[in-house]
Chains A and B, each alone.
Chain A
Amino acid sequence: MLRFVLRRFLAMILTLWVIATLTFLLMHAIPGSPFNNLNGKVLSDAAVKNLESHYHIDQPLPIQYLIYLKSIATFTYGPSIKQPSQTVNDLLGRGFPVSFELGLWSLIVAVLSGIILGLFAALKHNGLIDYVAMTLAVFGISIPNFVLATLLIQEFAVNLHVLPAGTWQGVSYMIMPIIALATGPMAIIARLIRSSMLEVLTQDYIRTAQAKGLSPFIIVMKHALKNALLPVVTVLGTLAASILTGTFVIEKIFAIPGMGKYFVDSINSRDYPVIMGTTMFYSALLIFMLFLVDLAYGWLDPRIKLNKEGK
Chain B
Amino acid sequence: MSRSPDKLLEVENLHVSFRAQGGEVHAVRGVAFDVAQGETLAIVGESGCGKSVTSLAVMGLIPRPHGKIVAGSIRFKGTELTALSAKKMRRIQGTDLSMIFQDPMTALNPTLTIGSQLTEGIVYQKKISRAAAYQRAIDMLEMVGLSNGAQRMKQYPHQFSGGMRQRIVIAMALICRPSLIIADEPTTALDVTIQAQILELFDQIQKETGVSMIMITHDLGVVAKTADRVAVMYAGKIVEMGSKRDIFYHASHPYTQALLNAIVRLDLPSDTLKPIEGAPPDLFAPPEGCSFCERCPFAMEVCRHVQPPATTVDGHHTAACWLLDKRADGIRQKVENY
Contacts and interface: CB of A to CB of B under 8 A. Distances in A.
Contacts of A303: 110, 156, 158
A211 B61 contact: yes
A62 interface: no
Nearest to A207: B61
Contacts of A222: 112, 120
A281 B90 CA distance: 54
Contacts of B125: 212-213
Interface residues of B, number: 28
Given A210-B93, A302-B158, A204 B112 contact: no
A283 interface: no
B93 A211 contact: yes
B101 A213 contact: no
Interface string B80-117: 00000000011111110011010100111111100000
B107 A208 contact: yes
B156 A302 contact: yes
B156 A205 contact: no
A227 interface: yes
Interface string B211-234: 000000000000000000000000
Contacts of A210: 61, 93
A214 B61 contact: no
Interface in B290-327: none
Contacts of A208: 101, 107-109, 169, 172
Contact of B106 (A204, A213, A223, A301): A204
A131 B193 CA distance: 51
Interface residues of A, number: 21
A300 B59 CA distance: 31
A226 to B, nearest CB: 5
B93 A223 contact: no
A74 B124 CA distance: 57
B109 A227 contact: yes
Contact of B109 (A205, A213, A300): A205
Interface in A219-250: 222-223, 226-227
A209 interface: yes
A142 interface: no
Contacts of A227: 109-111
Given A204-B103, A207-B61, A302-B158, A212 B110 contact: no
Contacts, number: 75
A264 to B, nearest CB: 43
Contacts of A204: 101, 103, 106-107
Kindly name the residue among B61, B109, B158 whose own CB sees the greatest number of chain A CB atoms within 10 A: B109
Contacts of A213: 89-95, 121, 124-125
A212 B120 contact: yes
Contacts of B172: 208, 212
A210 to B, nearest CB: 6
Interface in A180-230: 203-205, 207-215, 218, 222-223, 226-227
B93 A302 contact: no
Contacts of B101: 204, 207-208, 211
Nearest to A202: B63
Nearest to B116: A222
Interface in A75-102: none
B211 to A, nearest CB: 15
A302 B110 contact: yes
A303 B158 CA distance: 7
Contacts of A223: 109, 112
B106 A212 contact: no
Contacts of B91: 213
Kindly name the residue among A203, A209, A213, A226 whose own CB sees the greatest number of chain B CB atoms within 10 A: A213
16 contacts: A203-B106, A205-B109, A207-B101, A208-B169, A211-B101, A212-B98, A212-B124, A212-B172, A213-B124, A222-B112, A226-B112, A227-B109, A300-B111, A302-B111, A302-B156, A303-B156
Interface of B: 59, 61, 89-95, 98-99, 101, 103, 106-112, 120-121, 124-125, 156, 158, 169, 172
Interface of A: 203-205, 207-215, 218, 222-223, 226-227, 300-303
Given A203-B106, A302-B158, 9 more contacts: A208-B109, A211-B61, A212-B124, A213-B89, A222-B112, A302-B111, A302-B156, A303-B110, A303-B158
List 3 tightest A-B contacts by C-beta distance, closest first: A213-B93, A212-B94, A212-B121
